[in-house]
Structure 1
Amino acid sequence: MPGNRAKDAQRKRNREAADWILRNSDPRQPAEEKSRFQAWLNADPQNCRTYNAAEQLLGDAQTAIQSDTALSNIRIKPRSPVKPVVIALFFLAIAGATFLSLDGPIRMQADVVAGVDEMPVVTLQDGSTVQLNSSSAIAVDFTPERRVVRLLRGQAYFEVAHAPERPFSVDAGPARVTALGTAFDVRYSDTDLQVSVTENAVMIEPEIGNSGSLQIHEGEQALVDRRSGSSVVQRVDSNVALSWRRGQIAVDNAPLFKVVEEIGRHFSGRIVIAGDTVANRRVSGTINVTDTESALSFLRAALGVKTTRVGPFILIRS
């Protein structure tokens, strides 16, 4: 399909533009690399437009640095010819880190990105709908043969339009979840993949294309450990599994770090837990994760922890 080929080409162009942005920021860049960059720009007018868009994203990162008085007021007097290079690389590293924090790489891959205060519902071209949790992102790759949505980060609930001749799958890292019915929820984190089925069934392939697939049915939830590949299937109340759509989470003896991960989706800064002992303490209850202060108040009351807020950071400690 021409539309999908164009989308794939644009994603490739996005990756190349981001790569050139970082290369061109290196003050030690060799002349031959500058020539290759110019050849890349001249190869296609779209390359230039994409590069300019990537530059604007990095400009946002530099603006963020300048707005931080602790960084903008740094004054360093070089004492040797090497120092200017070191200083330039230092600020490049900061800009690159800020570029990442502004979601530059994700935004250049994704078709839909949900902000910290958003849970958008999106209708796809086949009539299927997707609701994204806060701080989540998807990319859509539809062909005449298959419908594939890549969950780049976070969580999403899918209601799939009936078209058995075109299987509907959600790719989350190395795993693939294929609909055998109409509605299911996928949560993708650094440590695990959680799939909850609210209508009919899905097939889970922990490693795309490999054996060891797992089928789960309506009212069931599978938790796949991304490190070991082990999986656990259990019964789940759909109201509990989908409570995030109401801005809540309902947990039963869950580790604190998992709860904080969900609160963090709705918080524009960063929440840090001091030590594994605190991070692994268990908590139960229904928590309003869209209200950060309310959620932290619940944790203070339930676990006796203390919280300290400094700018965009919150520290949870015993």
Structure 2
Amino acid sequence: MSAALQERAAEVAEWFARRRTGPLTPEDQVAFQAWLDADPGNREAFEAASDLWSDYDGLRTDPRLMRLREEARGAVSRHRTRRMVGAIAACAVLVLGGVAAWRGAGYLSGLIAPQPTRYATRVGQTMSVGLPDGSLAILDTNSELRAWAPGKTRRLELVRGRAFFKVAKDPTRPFVVRVGDHSVTALGTQFDVDLRPRSFRVVLSEGRVRVKSDHPAGGAASSVDMNAGYQLVARDGDWNLSRTDTRGAEGWVSGRLVFDDAPLSAIAAELGRYSTVPITVAPGVADRRMSAVLPAKDPEAFVASVEAQGLARRGPGAGYALIAP
């Protein structure tokens, strides 16, 4: 194991032990959160270690662990916290080390730095992914999704772009999608997550999900439970929960984009996500509005529709440009 992995293993063991001894002080809680946020690998390793500890409850009867636990309980008050932390950390090392020996020499490295499976699409490409638990993920254009092997939870991360999830029902293992500083948790449902540079949106078409924020700002809620037929838009710390037409919001899954009285500039920006050829709208016609159902990967259909309605005309030059008629 590399020095970096050894250092992370020690940090995981210490934080795990300190949390097992009782509630953290406010200062320690701040430090623990800072450690989690400092590197996504820290959070992944800590969650994996917690899952592993829970999975191997039977190891609590191991004589080595029992002896260390009794030693922690009998510690004198002056050194009680330090010795308890050390004892439990030693327990964690024994458990992780024992399991590593049982499953093979490479297991511990995989635990401390669990490697997700990465799925990514190029501009203009979409992808359907069958996940190990039976769930389905559909990636939109220029998107990236990471998925870890299922444990106590089914963990994924939307790194960029948009994805639609059809979640296999399993009440014992929540389905958790990390999206920046937020998480979306479901047991069995269908929902869409759209991550943009300054915002993200969740559209729920079936079931229930819970959206949580690690760092709520500006008085925003830290957790919202959503019902089917609603969308949540989070932008600059503000959350807006409203009803929506899920068929229109998720039209991209079938290759079509639905626009209802949308500005030409917004339509061009959305279509531009699927095209390597620039789509521009002159300022004089940018605010003109249109309702349409357009193929996601056919800017020519957009231009033709705009011209047919007399909203703008195609301008000269390369790419797709709309100017005043």
Aligned with 1:215 (options 225, 229, 247) = 225
Give the unaligned 5+ runs of structure 1.
Answer: 13-108
Alpha carbons 2:210, 2:225 under 8 Å: kept:
yes
Task: Please say if residues 187 and 194 of structure 1, whose CA atoms lie closer than 8 Å, have aligned partners that are also in contact.
Answer: yes
State the structure with more CA Rg. 2
Distance 1:224 1:197 in 2: 14
Deviations 1:222-241 (A, max 9, x none): 2222x2x2222222233222
Percent identity over paired residues: 29
Which consecutive unaligned segments of at least 5 residues does structure 2 have?
A: 9-39, 42-115
CA distance in 1, matches of 2:316, 2:238: 37
Residue 242 of structure 1 pairs with residue 250 of structure 2: yes
Deviations 1:179-224 (A, max 9, x none): 143211111122421211111111112x326552112111112222
Aligned-pair CA distance for 1:130: 0.3
Out of 264, 274, 286, the position equivalent to 1:266 is: 274
Q: Which residue of 2 aligns with 1:114?
A: 121
* TM-score normalised by L of structure 2: 0.56
TM-superposition CA deviations, 1:249-296 (whole Å, max 9, x none)? 112122333322321232123333444x64444332222222121122
1:296 aligns with 2:323: no
Match in the other structure for 1:149: 156
Verify: 1:163 aligned to 2:170, yes or no: yes
Separation of aligned partners in 1, 2:310 and 2:255: 22
2:238 match: 230
Q: TM-score, normalised by structure 1?
A: 0.57
Q: 2:24 maps to what in 1? A: none
**Compared CA separation, residues 125 and 310, structure 1 to 2 (3 A):** farther
Change in 2 beyond 3 A, CA 1:153/1:303: farther
Alpha carbon RMSD of aligned pairs, Å?
A: 2.9
Sort the Cα spacing of 1:115 and 1:310 in 2 relative to 1 into closer, same or farther, 3 A. farther
| Amino acid of the structure 1 residue aligned with 2:252 | W
Count matched residues.
Answer: 209
Aligned residue for 2:248, secondary structure, equals helix
CA contact (8 A) 1:110 1:152 kept: no
